[in-house]
Amino acid sequence: MKKLFFFIMVLVLVVVQSTEAKIVNVTTITDYAPFCFYKKGQQGFHDEVAPNQASSIFNGFAWQILLQSYHAMGYTVRLSIFPWKRGMVMMDKGQVDIIFPTVKNPERLKKYAFSKELSYPPNYYLIYVSKDRPFKWHGLKSLNKKKVGVIKAFSYGPAWAKYLAEGKAKIYEFYKLDDLFQQLAMERVDAIVGYQLSYDYNLHKLGMADKFKRMPPFDESKSFVMGKKNPKVENLLSIFDQGKAKLKESGKLKEIMIKWGFGHLSVF
């Protein structure tokens, strides 16, 4: 009888541990359509989404790719939604496992591990300016002595970081894309730095697509899933890679791309 009881307890512990191992704690931002945003009329800081379930409060192209990649591997996703800076602090403290979508840069590569798979298709960094004002483009040096709007804590790639270090532009930081576009429309800034896929999507949504000119891309952006360098997190990043590979093989990834208006792009 004691042996049977011991066997049952061991079995229960194995099941509990297995269940616990099938959870990934994730943080991301909102107001970043079409990649990450609240569903209409919804708010909240946390959600837990089991396999074959959908979030009751959150949606987005990058979110669906991450969610369904982990679901394909049998994982429940615990989601925390906070501004980028707070999300980074939570990750550093071990309160969440991973953050997405994020680009690589030399500083992050020293401290963090990244997925091999992308969060969404390759994107491009470019400058947006008013259609009603003359603007000659000669690369980033065209911004010298101009007022330039950016989203606070966003990374715009190595070319931008190098230019920023020269300190030749006046940088104004904002928290939301809507505010950034409004500042440019009101000519309170001369230009804004952006990601083409998300910025164009939002401009069309706001009915402002015809108000701005796009300068040629100055760099390419690739976004990944990121976490601290430790065995647990690196395994979770590998799980994401494996799950996304399953989405590719099954054709599910292409379906997601078509649904979100990116069906014309190559599967990534």
Q: Are residues 146 and 193 in the same domain?
A: yes
Identify the CA nearest to 123 among candidates 268, 226, 253: 268
Q: How far is CA 202 from the centre of its chain?
A: 15
Task: Count the domains in the chain.
Answer: 2
Q: Are residues 67 and 199 in the same domain?
A: no
Place of tokens 């990450």: 36
User: Does a structural domain hold residue 209?
Assistant: yes
- Two structure tokens written together for 204: 């069309």
Amino acid at 213: K
E strand or H helix that includes residue 37: strand 37-38
Place of tokens 């004691």: 2
Q: Sign (positive/negative) of CA torsion 67, 268, 94, 72?
A: positive
Q: Are residues 248 and 210 in the same domain?
A: no
Q: 27 pairs with which residues across the strands? A: 80, 99
Identify the CA nearest to 75 among candidates 225, 255, 237: 237
Q: Are residues 83 and 162 in the same domain?
A: no
Give me the pLDDT at residue 20, please.
Answer: 57
Residue 49 CA to residue 54 CA, distance in Å, equals: 6
Q: Are residues 227 and 249 in the same domain?
A: yes
User: Does a structural domain hold residue 267?
Assistant: no
Give me the pLDDT at residue 15, please.
Answer: 45
Q: Are residues 65 and 193 in the same domain?
A: no
10-residue block means of pLDDT along the chain (268 residues)?
48 46 93 93 96 97 98 98 95 97 92 98 96 94 97 90 92 93 96 94 90 96 96 98 98 97 92
Q: Are residues 26 and 86 in the same domain?
A: yes
User: Does a structural domain hold residue 9?
Assistant: no
User: Does a structural domain hold residue 1?
Assistant: no
Give me the pLDDT at residue 236, please.
Answer: 98
Q: Are residues 204 and 247 in the same domain?
A: no
Give me the pLDDT at residue 21, please.
Answer: 65
Rounding to the nearest 10 degrees, give the CA dihedral for residues 39, 43, 47, 49.
-10
Q: Are residues 170 and 198 in the same domain?
A: yes
Q: Are residues 137 and 104 in the same domain?
A: no
Give me the pLDDT at residue 153, please.
Answer: 84
User: Does a structural domain hold residue 265?
Assistant: no
User: Does a structural domain hold residue 264?
Assistant: no
Q: Are residues 36 and 157 in the same domain?
A: no
Amino acid at 158: P
Q: What is the CA radius of gyration of the chain?
A: 21
Place of tokens 């379930």: 53
For residue 168, what is the domain's CATH number? 3.40.190.10
Q: Which domain holds residue 152?
A: 123-221
User: Does a structural domain hold residue 54?
Assistant: yes
Q: Are residues 155 and 182 in the same domain?
A: yes
Give me the pLDDT at residue 105, please.
Answer: 87
User: Does a structural domain hold residue 11?
Assistant: no
For residue 51, is the peptide bond before it cis, meaning its omega torsion is within 30 degrees of 0?
A: no
